[in-house]
């Protein structure tokens, strides 16, 4: 398989390592965490899925105490009792640094934040992104998703087969390894069902009724998929501005290739003739932008009024308010919804991201931005 150097991610992780004694790289299985960790000049590497490495850590204090340099611990969620020890080692061994990798976000963050508060930084790694390839490969990235073995497969057929097997492995092996006891076929049916809500408001009661389960069980299944980086639950932004606002979240599948597999889209021809074309592209573009603006998952929102005015993405940075609308269109034009969002949210700038090639202004602070013009780090300098 072709090797692609992920310079943007490497630079950001190195910046964290320069400041913090421990850095956690979090992300879905097979998204490239191990490959990117091996790019750093580490002194010791422990893969907790390797029985030999796992047995070396049966007595972790003896195994780790005398080591120096960068120590990498892969799949650390398999041995959560290491976290209190890491705090002791970091505080008493200044020549040590730790790079820890994990495939389960919520539990890992809870465990490490309790033990390593102030000592650790978190970096969320997705699959390959827009900035890892030449522009000509963006269509493949959208159709196949960002998992390295999917996007770098020799053919669309091979890519589709890999994604199907990935889903099976995730459900039958990875989920049980996290201590979750749900039949694989049940979670697969649920995952497939919510894929049809991609880019839409989430109604847990309706979803539970359709699936024949309680709201609490719906929430449990959603938590599993969210904490393993399979879905993004985008919360609404609402403040008291005198309007009735939608307060239900929206749901997206985070990887476009996995989304296409779950809705039985196997190639580009099928995608371009599918009614989910627009929502597929919106989710793909949204994930790309979220990585560019580099905000925590719980710091980005959407906004919608009960009258239908909407903004696809809203966030705060540099002491100002910013917004993005995604349009799968040839030449987006100014809409009443954009005007309302711009005024009600007091946006410093609103970008309309689309798959075309021309950048142009709709108003003084509303700009149409080609998807290919998105930078690795969002540029606020002009605004």
Across-strand partners of 251? 200, 233
When the candidates are 3.40.190.10, 3.30.70.2740, 3.40.50.920, 3.40.50.300, the CATH number that belongs to 7-124 is 3.40.50.300
Write the CB contacts of 160 (distance below 8 Å, at least 6 apart in sequence). 261, 266, 267
- Burial of 92 per CB tally in 10 Å (0-12, 13-18, 19+): exposed
Task: Give pLDDT tens digits for 268-326.
Answer: 999 999 999 999 999 999 999 999 998 988 899 999 988 888 999 999 999 999 999 99
| pLDDT band at residue 195 using 50, 70 and 90 as cut-offs | very high
Once rounded to an integer, what is the mean pLDDT over residues 85-114? 85
* C-beta of residue 251 within 8 angstroms of C-beta of residue 228: no
* C-beta of residue 6 within 8 angstroms of C-beta of residue 105: no
**Mean of the per-residue pLDDT values of the chain:** 92
- Tell me the torsion sign for CA atoms 85, 91, 95, 100: positive
Q: pLDDT at residue 353 above 90?
A: yes
Q: pLDDT at residue 111 above 90?
A: no
Query: What was the pLDDT predicted at 44?
Result: 96
Give Cα separations from 16 to 45, 90, 111 (angstroms): 19, 15, 20
Task: Give pLDDT tens digits for 176-192.
Answer: 887 788 999 999 999 99
DSSP 251-274: EEES-HHHHHHHTT--SHHHHHTS
Q: How far is CA 97 from the centre of its chain?
A: 26
Query: What was the pLDDT predicted at 108?
Result: 67
Give Cα separations from 55 to 52, 63, 78, 371 (angstroms): 5, 10, 12, 48
C-beta contacts of 16-20 below 8 A and 24+ residues apart: 16/121, 16/123, 17/70, 17/97, 17/99, 19/121, 20/119, 20/120, 20/121
pTM equals 0.93
Q: Determine which helix (DSSP H) or strand (DSSP E) holds 123, and give its type and residue range.
A: strand 120-124
Across-strand partners of 363? 366
The backbone torsions φ and ψ at residue 361, rounded to the nearest 5 degrees and listed phi first, read: -95, 140
Whole-angstrom Cα distance, residue 103 to residue 108? 8
Q: Can you give the residue ranges of every domain in the chain?
A: 7-124, 130-373
Which residue shows structure tokens 């909407």? 310
Query: What was the pLDDT predicted at 131?
Result: 84
Query: What was the pLDDT predicted at 105?
Result: 66
Write the CB contacts of 223 (distance below 8 Å, at least 6 apart in sequence). 106
Write the CB contacts of 211 (distance below 8 Å, at least 6 apart in sequence). 189, 190, 193, 218
- Tell me the torsion sign for CA atoms 210, 211, 212, 218: negative
Question: How many Cα neighbours within 13 Å face the side chain of 43?
Answer: 11
Task: Give pLDDT tens digits for 131-173.
Answer: 887 655 788 999 999 999 999 999 999 999 999 999 999 999 9
Q: Determine which helix (DSSP H) or strand (DSSP E) holds 322, and give its type and residue range.
A: strand 320-326
Residue 338 token pair: 């954009």
């Amino acid at each position: 398989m072709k090797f692609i150097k992920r310079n943007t991610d490497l630079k950001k992780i190195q910046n964290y390592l320069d400041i913090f004694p421990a850095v956690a790289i979090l992300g879905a299985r097979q998204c490239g965490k191990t490959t990117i960790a091996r790019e750093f000049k580490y002194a010791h590497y422990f893969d907790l899925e390797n029985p030999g490495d796992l047995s070396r850590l049966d007595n972790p204090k003896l195994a780790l105490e005398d080591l120096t340099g960068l120590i990498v611990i892969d799949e650390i969620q398999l041995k959560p009792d290491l976290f209190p020890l890491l705090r002791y080692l970091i505080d008493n061994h200044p020549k040590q640094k730790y790079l820890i990798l994990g495939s389960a976000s919520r539990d890992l963050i809870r465990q490490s934040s309790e033990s390593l508060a102030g000592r650790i930084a978190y970096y969320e790694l997705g699959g390959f992104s827009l900035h890892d390839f030449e522009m000509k490969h963006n269509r493949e990235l959208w159709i196949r998703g960002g998992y390295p073995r999917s996007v770098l497969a020799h053919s669309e057929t091979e890519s589709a087969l890999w994604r199907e097997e990935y889903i099976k492995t995730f459900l039958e092996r990875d989920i049980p390894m996290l201590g979750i006891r749900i039949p694989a076929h049940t979670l697969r049916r649920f995952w497939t069902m919510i894929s049809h809500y991609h880019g839409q408001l989430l109604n847990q009661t309706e979803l539970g009724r359709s699936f024949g389960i309680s709201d609490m069980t719906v929430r449990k299944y959603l938590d599993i998929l969210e904490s393993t980086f399979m879905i993004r639950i985008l919360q609404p932004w609402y403040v008291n501005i005198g309007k009735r606002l939608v307060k239900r979240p929206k749901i997206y599948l985070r990887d476009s290739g996995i989304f296409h597999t779950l809705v039985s889209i196997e190639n580009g021809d099928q995608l371009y003739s599918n009614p989910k074309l627009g929502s597929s592209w919106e989710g793909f573009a949204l994930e790309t932008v979220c990585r560019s603006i580099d905000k925590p998952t719980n710091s980005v929102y959407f906004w919608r009024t009960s009258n239908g005015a909407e903004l696809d993405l809203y966030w705060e940075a540099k002491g100002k308010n910013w917004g993005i609308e995604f349009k799968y269109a040839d030449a987006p034009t100014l809409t009443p919804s954009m005007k309302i969002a711009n005024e009600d949210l007091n946006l410093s700038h609103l970008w309309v991201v689309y798959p075309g090639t021309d950048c142009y202004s709709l108003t003084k602070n509303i700009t149409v931005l080609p998807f290919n013009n998105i930078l690795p780090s969002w540029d606020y300098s002009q605004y």
